[in-house]
Amino acid sequence: MNADPIVQIRDLTKLYRHGEIDVTALNCVSLDIAAGEFVALMGPSGSGKSTLLHIIAGVDRATSGQCIVQGTDVGTLNETELADWRNNHVGFVFQTFNLIPVLTAFENVELPLLLTSLSSSERRAHVEAALELVGLADRMRHLPRQLSGGQEQRVAIARALVTDPTLLVADEPTGNLDAHSAAEILALLQILNRTAGKTVILVTHDPKAAAYASRTLHLEKGELLNGSSQSSVVSSQ
């Protein structure tokens, strides 16, 4: 836990240019996240939560500033390197439509492994373990439309986990779920954080969801509110 922070963000700024006007989605954000933390990113709609998450996860690029994840400056990778990096280091969970509708739960979870050199029996073992972990071992052959919303999100979490990534990022994963399913998903993320030691970054605007996290950061108009955000590792100790 006292090792270097797994995510180091320095003066990160993201501008969107709309004709003559610049929209500042992120304004000089600096932040450290330690390995094993469960961080909730909160803030009103449009405050830049998703933008920050996307940059950390390597699907978007900052206008200026640095984002270093496990020693890699993500901004310096080209598109192909970045895709490969995501496959190895990031597990992604979105708000909705996470799964490929024509593939079964098993096959959806297997997708990121098709890019690796694992044999088909090794892949099977990983996929089954991941689905076991999210409690869906008995739903492997089901198509997404045969699953409930909560189950779909759990499959998405299994898919995010299956490559054993450094970071698990989730953008409002409970936004479309009923309270009960939402609680199950959040509890699952918490268990993964505590027992499997995954670093989790959760974007949410729901304080109840943020309560599952070990640290909560507040964004507003692209700026971090908590002064404590740069001093990492505080809450997990």
Ligand X SMILES: Nc1ncnc2c1ncn2[C@@H]1O[C@H](COP(=O)(O)OP(=O)(O)O)[C@@H](O)[C@H]1O
Q: Which of 45, 78, 117, 231 binds ligand X (CB under 6 A)?
A: 45
Q: Sign of dihedral through CA atoms 205, 210, 213, 216? A: positive
Amino acid identity, position 157:
I
Binding partner of residue 192 among Mg ion, another protein, ligand X, none, CB under 5 to 8 Å per kind? none
The CA distance from 181 to 178, in Å, is: 6
Residue 88 interacting with another protein (CB under 8 A): yes
Q: Which of 5, 48, 112, 150 binds ligand X (CB under 6 A)?
A: 48
Least CB distance from residue 171 to Mg ion, whole Å?
6
Enclosing H/E stretch for 207: helix 207-210
120-133 vs 149-161: helix crossing angle, rounded to 10: 130
The CA distance from 156 to 66, in Å, is: 29
Residue 50 interacting with Mg ion (CB under 5 A): yes
Q: Which stretch binds Mg ion (CB under 5 A): 42-50, 54-62, 192-200, 205-213?
A: 42-50
Least CB distance from residue 229 to ligand X, whole Å?
16
Residue 25 interacting with ligand X (CB under 6 A): yes
Amino acid identity, position 37:
E
Cα 194 to chain centroid, rounded: 16
The CA distance from 25 to 13, in Å, is: 8
Q: Which of 15, 94, 149, 235 binds another protein (CB under 8 A)?
A: 94
The CA distance from 124 to 140, in Å, is: 11
Residue 46 interacting with ligand X (CB under 6 A): yes
Q: Quote the tokens at residue 87.
A: 């496959």
Q: Which of 50, 108, 163, 214 binds ligand X (CB under 6 A)?
A: 50
Query: Interface residues with ligand X (CB under 6 A)?
Result: 16, 18, 23, 25, 43, 45-51
Query: Interface residues with another protein (CB under 8 A)?
Result: 54, 57, 59-60, 79-80, 82-84, 86-88, 90, 92, 94-98, 100-103, 106-107, 110-112, 114-115, 120, 159-160, 163
